Structure 1
């Protein structure tokens, strides 16, 4: 029997048929849904026409008539609907949506600085933001990259390509992308000329550098940062953002929290007696605030990321001779010559260890050796600054009186 409109709201739980496979299913909760039961290729299938009362009896019968017409034409209405939904989902999954998912996943791994750089790189590819992932082809990505390349920023172009690739590989792994379109761009971009960051690494040059640093007559905070940089050889961003809360003068340690590190791994810098002298001298000047090296404009921010490099330029070291980051290369080169174990040096440089178990072991195993190395390094720099003719050897160093 055909269903009656006035009876639909009072039907009990169960399936109530109207004809030709159309029925109203009343759930135990009271919810009601129009469904159609039909057979295609000898197999039973079902299709939903929506909830009652949003969809009335007359509308449900209209949906049924249209679906039966498609079935007679040789189509499967349920399969068609699934395909439509997949298409809608594909169109809703834009590059920006997938990118933001990837960034959220990386937030627990990458440092705040690296995350900010990643977002900036993605902003250069904003033409892809509204494009459905399924529609992004190699030529589309290349068009975006060509705009950056045309401005002469070849290294940036390759970095943007790398980030786009990471997003698509994430999409492939999670079933939202079929492939990584950047894989077809190999050789399509102008190559990057690899240049190492400028650094002075020969002992005589380092001696001249250290003596020149002593002559800087700028702000006391900049003077202190210049003197501390070769002793701790931390990343410039970590040095300028050093906070007094991270410094333990009694334990002679600078403890950098994971959130500030490139790979979100907390790092400890043993402080030599020489480094402690610099920090104790700086304490009366900036110790009342958050940062050891605050901005000259406001104590709420650390010094500018260009401060160290600007000071080096004023001292006569151009960008092709020495940079703030060059203190790391300087230390790495000479410490290897001094005979310190490569693993100890690499750990102190906070270079990422791919094997997490090995990394945890090295953090504990090498701390005592790192403390010895940092003091020996400071002693060696003192000898160079004093003009002593010393070989880069562990045997030439001795611990000074604190």
Structure 2
């Protein structure tokens, strides 16, 4: 028999009251009353809530306490069991993972792609299921339709499902990850196919730029593409370039770490041709700090599809991508110059060697890269002339 009675519970003032066998009543200074059970699981003291009074009466609290003590005696963890009873649906868990990762991702686009892949391939199957009720079959139901037809997408979707369920494990909602190795046997091995960005032979790049100059694309877009090619830059680096990143006296472009793939500042030596592009870009200044602003949305950078559309309009999209011009430059440097490998890689803002080698490579070969980029600009000018 417990120490409490229904009358004592009703009259109890602020404090904590022990009924026996780990059952307690807690009364706050405001008069709110709630039940909790203190028990030992795997050698650790655990407290679990049983609900508030009067919704949960003394009789109900004792019944619940007995059930949980019995579960603990059988080797189960009633606290974890109770936690899983509050498990969110997969879509809600995915939202929590998205928000947790957003600060470390580069820009909203990465977050958007992460969410969209789940929205397209996972949510239709498991989006409205509680995470603790998702089975291996459910995960396979989402992955199997795209596993062989869209392997790269399928691989990313699986990684993201695993990440969400790993979050659910960490919060005690699930015991193990049903998207982990346990389903490997039901999925055929993916072929290791290495794909490369389409790129023009380097000796065709100058002619391609000449053709682009004749298009009806906006001056800002055409100048951005030429600037990108001259500097072997990535699309986002060029499209989001701002005037305060340009040091005209030093003929240098400093791209901040937050806009670089390797998350470290990258200095770009600007050739005379690149500086000439910047002089022309000044004529299309829209009042913002962007070097190549969108003509459709003043104050906003060119969209990621703008440069691709130029290639499509001139009939080059089936042979080259915007990113592929970096490969054209790299092939030219290999075939037409004797520039050391490390200098060429530094020009592309690639990490040099493994972590040990990087610890000893402190310079960025800037002077050597300036000579290389000057030669690249001269090569394009001669081919175009």
Report the TM-score range of the alignment, normalised by the length of the smaller protein: 0.7 to 0.9
Partner of 1:200: 200
- In the alignment, the residues of structure 2 paired with residue 381 and residue 217 of structure 1 have an alpha-carbon distance, to the nearest angstrom, of 22
Q: How does 1:11-160 map to 2 (within 5 A)?
A: 55=53, 59-61=57-59, 63-64=61-62, 67=65, 76=73, 81-89=78-86, 91-92=87-88, 94=90, 96-98=92-94, 100-101=96-97, 104-105=100-101, 107-124=103-120, 125-127=122-124, 128-148=126-146, 153-160=150-157
What's the secondary structure of 2:253's corresponding residue?
strand
Further displaced range: 167-176 or 267-276: 167-176
Does structure 1 retain, via aligned residues, the 8 Å contact 2:23–2:35?
Answer: yes
User: Residues 52-80 of structure 1: CA distance to partner in whole angstroms, max 9, x if unpaired?
Assistant: xx536x93255336755897x89849967
Alignment of 1:162-201 (within 5 A): 162-168=159-165, 178-179=176-177, 181=179, 183=181, 184-185=183-184, 187-188=187-188, 194-201=194-201
Q: What do the CA deviations read for 1:173-217 (whole angstroms, capped 9, x no partner)?
A: 7876623625434753875865422211243x3343344445445
Paired residue secondary structure (1:300)? coil
Match of 1:252 in 2: 251
For residues 224-303 of structure 1, the aligned pairs below 5 Å read 224-286=223-285, 288-303=287-302
Please, which runs of 5 or more residues in structure 2 have no aligned partner?
none
Per-residue CA deviation, residues 149-169 of structure 1 (Å, 9 max, x unaligned), is 69x655433432343344456
Taking the aligned partners of 1:238 and 1:319, their CA distance within structure 2 comes to 21
Following superposition, the deviation at residue 330 of structure 1 comes to: 0.5
- 1:364 deviates by 3.5
Cα deviation code 1:344-396 (max 9, x no counterpart)? 3223323356856755765634333333322232223223333xxxxxxxxxx
Q: Would you say the 8 A contact 2:232–2:329 is kept in 1?
A: yes
What RMSD in Å do the two structures reach over aligned CA positions?
4.6
Aligned length: 376
Do the aligned partners of 2:3 and 2:18 also contact (CA within 8 Å) in 1? no
* CA–CA distance in structure 1, aligned partners of residues 357 and 143 of structure 2: 38
Q: How far apart, in 2, do the equivalents of 1:162 and 1:21 lie?
A: 43
Residues 134 and 178 in structure 1, CA contact (< 8 A), matched pair in contact too: no
Do residues 334 (structure 1) and 324 (structure 2) align?
no
Q: Distance in 2 between matches of 1:236 and 1:70?
A: 59
SS of the equivalent of 2:223 reads: helix
CA offset digits 1:107-148 (Å, max 9, x no partner): 325444333322222222223333333443443223223455
User: How big is each residue's C-alpha offset from its partner over 1:33-70, in whole Å with a ceiling of 9 and x where there is no partner?
Assistant: 76778999xx999987768xx536x9325533675589
Find the aligned partners of 2:274 and 2:164 in 1 and give their Cα distance.
Answer: 42
Tell me the CA shift for residue 279 of structure 1.
Answer: 0.4
* Match in the other structure for 1:344: 343
Counterpart of 2:53 in 1: which secondary structure? coil
| Contact 1:108/1:264 (<8 A) preserved | no
8 Å CA contact 2:37, 2:47 repeated in 1? yes
Query: Would the aligned equivalents of 2:139 and 2:178 in 1 still touch at CA under 8 Å?
Result: no
Where does structure 1 lack aligned partners over 5 or more consecutive residues? 387-402
Secondary structure, counterpart of 1:92 in structure 2: coil
Is the contact made by 1:164 and 1:182 (CA closer than 8 Å) also made in structure 2?
no
Q: Is the 8 A contact 1:290 1:299 kept in 2?
A: no
- What is the distance in 1 between the residues matched to 2:26 and 2:382? 89
**Alignment match, 1:394:** none
- Pair 1:177–1:359, CA change in 2 (3 A): farther
Find the aligned partners of 2:104 and 2:338 in 1 and give their Cα distance. 36
Instruction: Name the TM-score, length of structure 2 as normaliser.
Output: 0.75
Following the alignment from structure 2 to structure 1, what is the Cα–Cα distance between the partners of residues 171 and 48? 28
